[in-house]
Amino acid sequence: MKPLSFQQIILKLHEYWGNQGCAILQPYDMEMGAGTFHTATTLRALGPDPWKAAFAQPCRRPTDGRYGENPNRLQHYYQYQVILKPSPPDIQQLYLDSLTAIGIDPMLHDIRFVEDDWESPTLGAWGLGWEVWCDGMEVTQFTYFQQMGGFDCKPVSGELTYGLERLAMYIQGVDSIYDLDYNGAGMTYGDIFLENEKQMSEWNFEVANTETLFDLFNKAAAECENCLEKKLPIPAYEQAIKASHMFNLLQARGVISVQERASYMGRVRDLAKGSCEAHMVKNGWAA
């Protein structure tokens, strides 16, 4: 039995979660460090309305770039994210059956739920859950959101974040991300992304104009505040994400000192939390 290709894994997950009643969304069209930043997760985790969605989200972590030379690290990779609100009682079994759907036989492999609580200071968010191990490898982050943007989640959402490249490497039995079978028809992950990794690593670490980045950071922060003033939480949140990404790029360029780091992070956190708060107010959910 030929293992699923990278794109088949995504399609299978779409199909599986679609059958569970999830809206299959497309990636958010902005740079972000994790699928959790997608408004379908962050903003939808707030307030009382039920919500079910699944999507693949490209994630950018400039400091993780390795010029395409490390078989396990990328500055641009994919997360598959499922958000179920409120968390259904059989969420663990739903998740396990999704693994079966992409070809992981739980009688042949050792699947375990190992304590791993999640916290995002940037989003003022935390939750309890596990990292899911398959034969000792972390393949998924499983979290019950307790707070988002500093607000109690009422009700609690269950969030599943699959590391797609890792999972695919496991399923396909390859040792390098770049060797992944992408489409089942001869195209590898490397064919598609290796050059991208090389160029983006060089830009992230060496080329990006730091003055421009600082400027963009400040402009995004200012625009976020402008939106907050006009009571437009969604555009405000987008600007907060933009500022967050600029901060990550500045970090990769190594121009933010240890002392400054905390203050920049604090600024991003205030913008993101402010956006969440505005979202609560706009919808009439804030106390």
Partner 1 sequence: MTDFLLELFSEEIPARMQAKARADLERLFTAQLAEAGLKAGAITIYSTPRRLALIAKDLPAQTEAVSEEAKGPPEGAPDQAVEGFCRKNGVTRDQLEVRDIKGRPTYFAVINKPGRATRDVLAEAIPAIIRAFPWPKSMRWGEASASTESLRWVRPLSGIVAILGDDLVECEIDGIESGYETVGHRFHHSVRPEPVEGQLAKGASTSSARTEIGRITIGNAGDYAEKLRACHVIVDHDERQNIIRDGAARAASDAGLQLVEDEGLVIENAGLTEWPVPLLGSFDPAFLEVPEEVIQLTARVNQKYFVCKYPPDAQHGEGDRAQRGGGAPPSPASAKATADATSPSLRDREDKLAPYFVCTANIYASDGGAAIIAGNEKVLAARLSDAKFFWELDQKTKLEDHAKKLGNIVFHEKLGTVADKVERVAKLAEWLASLEGTGLLRANPEQTEQAARLCKADLVTEMVGEFPELQGLMGGYYAEKQGLPVEVSHAIRDHYKPVGQGDEVPTDPVTVWVSLADKLDTLVGFFVIDERPTGSRDPFALRRAALGILEMLNRNGLRVSLWEAITRALAGYTKAMVRKDMPETEYQEYLAKQKSIFTTIPDFFADRLKVQQREAGVRHDLIDAVFALGGEDDLVRLLARVKALQAFVETADGVNLLAGYKRASNILKKEGGTSAPAEAGAHLPTSDPDAPVRDGPLPAQGNKTLSYTPEPAEKALIDALDAAQPQVTAAIEAEQFQTAMTALAALRGPIDQFFEDVTVNDEDESKREARLALLARFRDAVHQVADFSQIEG
The contact set with partner 1 (CB under 8 A) reads 1-4, 8, 11-12, 15-16, 19-20, 48, 72, 86-89, 92-93, 96-97, 100-103, 105-115, 117, 127-130, 134-137, 144, 146, 152-156, 158, 170, 175, 257-258
Whose Cβ is closer to partner 1: residue 29's or residue 115's?
115
How many residues comprise the chain? 287
Q: Which of 230-260 are b and which e, b meaning 16 or more Cβ less than 10 Å from the residue's Cβ? A: eebbeebbbbbbbbbbbbbbbbbbeebeeee
Helix or strand holding residue 81 (H, E): strand 76-85
Question: In angstroms, rounded to a whole number, what is the distance separating the alpha carbons of residues 141 and 131?
Answer: 5
Name which of 106 and 266 has its Cβ closer to partner 1: 106
From the CB of 73, what's the least distance to partner 1, in Å? 10
> 57 in the Ramachandran plot: left (φ > 0), alpha (ψ -120 to 50) or beta?
beta
Of 177 and 240, CB closest to partner 1: 177
User: Min. distance of Cβ 90 from partner 1 in angstroms?
Assistant: 8
User: With respect to partner 1, which residue has the nearer C-beta, 4 or 208?
Assistant: 4
Report, in Å, the least distance between residue 150 CB and partner 1.
14
Taking the complex as a whole, how short is the minimal distance between the CB of residue 113 and partner 1, in angstroms? 4
Shortest distance, CB of residue 122 to partner 1, whole angstroms? 21
Tokens for 118, please give them. Answer: 């999640």
d(CA 35, CA 145): 14
In a 3-state reduction of DSSP, which class is residue 6? helix
Residue 4 half-sphere exposure toward CB, CA atoms < 13 A: 20
* Choice between 70 and 219, CB closer to partner 1: 70
